[in-house]
Structure 1
């Protein structure tokens, strides 16, 4: 089995760059500062029109936790319907209960609604209280893959759990490591038996606008003169490492 590299693309330009770099697939989202939220319908439409790379959509109505109100859950379902109408290739989502267990009823409903598209359970897995039980629950819901950093801030930090759940999955579901993956650590991650990997490959660019003394966001931790885009060279450097080991 060959390796596949999925790019977390935060814009249409990032999707274009991922395709030019030779990535296998993208997960299109918005608001990387919040861990990713659902992109606009216009972004999905233009990404589909301007590229040929398979596009999965992150369906997440807000940042924060993965426990959703009835209204938020309805928004998720409506977004999935819109994504299907726009012709995307996959859906990325998932729901937890307040105690950190998997909300199997709601997750299964989203998996069924997404069909025939494959469903990736996103990094809500990384805050589940029992990863091995969550693995079994997600498999039982019919998801195609799990995106996870091994319940750490990066995949390389979570490599021990990634290896454990990859072995326990035993081919029943794809385990896709993601989080801080780059050319300096991908070779180590290739040793754990996974065949799909997820990275943003983002690179910062300064805004062309003149500096402002007014912040549009109340948080001082979010720089407003920096724009992040998935970088062709950064992605290619990882693909080259993967190709050597293929």
Structure 2
């Protein structure tokens, strides 16, 4: 199945039109994604597709102090209250996942799930790609009760890590889904499917046409360059390759 990462209403519409099966909602994709605002959560809740929202309170690393951790906990409540289908979270460093913080978040999410009476899916995000020992990280994710791991296999582009994906799928043994994402191209999907990957994640963006760019916005610092937007045709190509 195909999950498309979007950061605005136009992206949601383009992903849906192109045949995405699920959306990941965030903002600031050029920074790897940050937590979306309440207004976007409300719009996402109106979509006909399941939506998982990213909770990442700041750019940079994933070593969180108590203030950061509290923000993620609050985000989880906001996502559940908005009626979204799940959340994307992660905490740790190269030395390993922060088991204590993650356990607290997962426990909180499961209580929210019980309170609303419907499933609330949890994805461990690409902090996983920083780990010196990803197989240990996989076992911790399984132990904590995550539903899936989003990973590029530790590579800049997921298609460059087919062998690592094979090892992860084998180690997972069906206990947790391995979702390939991060620089993913359509041409890499067949090889990833061949080693057992069944979920794929991509932003499916293309550069904004030059004719649609206001140079004054760039000049005043309101926009950085041409930017990129979710491309329905690219979503359709990914959807066809993952079908």
Shifted more, 182-191 versus 131-140: the winner is: 182-191
Q: Secondary structure at the match of 1:203?
A: strand
2:80 corresponds to: 84
Deviations 1:157-181 (A, max 9, x none): 1221111011010001000011122
Does the CA contact (< 8 Å) of 2:159 and 2:185 recur in 1? no
* TM-score between the two structures when normalised by the length of structure 2: 0.90
2:100 corresponds to: 105
Measure the CA separation in 2 of the matches of 1:81 and 1:241: 35
Does the CA contact (< 8 Å) of 1:16 and 1:47 recur in 2? no
Deviations 1:59-118 (A, max 9, x none): 000111110111111111111111111110001001115x62111111111112222211
RMSD of aligned Cα (Å): 1.5
Larger helix percent: 2
Does the CA contact (< 8 Å) of 1:10 and 1:229 recur in 2? no
Does the CA contact (< 8 Å) of 2:207 and 2:229 recur in 1? yes
How many positions carry a matched residue from both structures? 232
1:32 corresponds to: 29
Does the CA contact (< 8 Å) of 2:97 and 2:137 recur in 1? yes
Instruction: After TM superposition, give the deviation of residue 229 of structure 1 in Å.
Output: 1.8
Q: Secondary structure at the match of 2:92?
A: coil
* TM-score between the two structures when normalised by the length of structure 1: 0.89
Instruction: After TM superposition, give the deviation of residue 152 of structure 1 in Å.
Output: 0.8
Measure the CA separation in 1 of the matches of 2:194 and 2:86: 27
Q: Which runs of 4+ in 1 moved over 4 A?
A: none
Measure the CA separation in 2 of the matches of 1:127 and 1:106: 17
Deviations 1:130-157 (A, max 9, x none): 1011110111111000000001111111
2:147 corresponds to: 144
Measure the CA separation in 2 of the matches of 1:118 and 1:167: 22
Deviations 1:181-221 (A, max 9, x none): 222221122111011111110111145423354445xxxxx
Aligned positions of 1:94-133 closer than 5 A: 94-97=90-93, 100-115=95-110, 116=113, 117-133=120-136
The correspondence for 2:53, drawn from 57, 65, 89, is 57
